[in-house]
Amino acid sequence: MDRPVRVVLDVNIFVGNIIAHDRRHIGTATQTLVSMVSSQKWGMADSAQLVISFEMIETLETVLRRLKFAEDRILAYSGSLIDIMKYGPDGLDPYLILGGEERFAMSDIEDVGVLATAFGARADILVTDNLRDFTSKDASVIDTQVVETRSAGKRTLQALRYEIAPADLIVAHPFDVMHWMRLGYDFSPGSLWSTLQRPGKEHVP
């Protein structure tokens, strides 16, 4: 892309990152994604601009308190995410979502807020391990790959595309996003979606 990729990482990605660190895991998809946006990198050649809202920060802090993380660590973690956004290539401030959620026919109010954040910032990609709750009648859907994990067994991943002018957004699982990076895909939403739709295109690692 000829500009920074605007990236929304769902709260579950940030939670997964800190848990993986405490379990001494190295190089998980969530860790890699958080590391990339922290260093303002996206794949091999693009730069990354993190997008997050105050609502998402509050949700993250609530989840980490529920998981019994120390308060000083929680505040340091959320504060670092605000700094990553503010000092990114586009120099954005965290978003205060004041409206727009009503346009999405989704049941989970927190997920609606995340989607509204992505639209408000005109993000290119929203990465989440919670794809099902981001699916609505307004999204185009495509199957991407079949994966097998210890916790969930075998599952078919999907990517979603929301085109609600002037926004154009891809919603995808971290496994898919990491795979697309390795293949050097263009993360411009229109270009990425066209690549995923090519007949006979192999997407499975």
pLDDT in tens, 82-102: 999 999 999 988 876 544 444
Does 202 reside within a domain? Answer: no
Distance of CA 145 to the CA centre of its chain: 18
Q: Could you please report the per-residue DSSP string of the chain?
A: --SPEEEEE-HHHHHHHHHHHHTT--S-HHHHHHHHHHTTEETTTEEEEEE-BHHHHHHHHHHHHHTT--HHHHHHHHHHHHHHHHTSTT-PPPB---S-GGGS--S-HHHHHHHHHHHHTT-SEEE-S-GGGG--TTEEEEEEEEEEETTTEEEEEEEEEEEETTEEEEEE-HHHHHHHHHTT---SHHHHHHHHHSTT-----
State the residue range of the domain holding 153: 5-197
If one counts the domains in the chain, the total is 1
Does 94 fall in a domain? yes
pLDDT number for residue 205: 39
- Which one-letter amino acid corresponds to residue 194? S
Question: Is 13 within a domain?
Answer: yes
pLDDT at position 202: 46
Per-residue model confidence (pLDDT) at position 99: 47
Residue 68 included in any domain? yes
CATH number, residue 151 = 3.40.50.1010
Residues in the chain: 205
Q: What is the mean pLDDT of each run of 10 residues along the chain (205 residues)?
A: 93 96 94 96 92 93 97 97 94 68 58 87 94 87 83 82 90 95 94 85 44
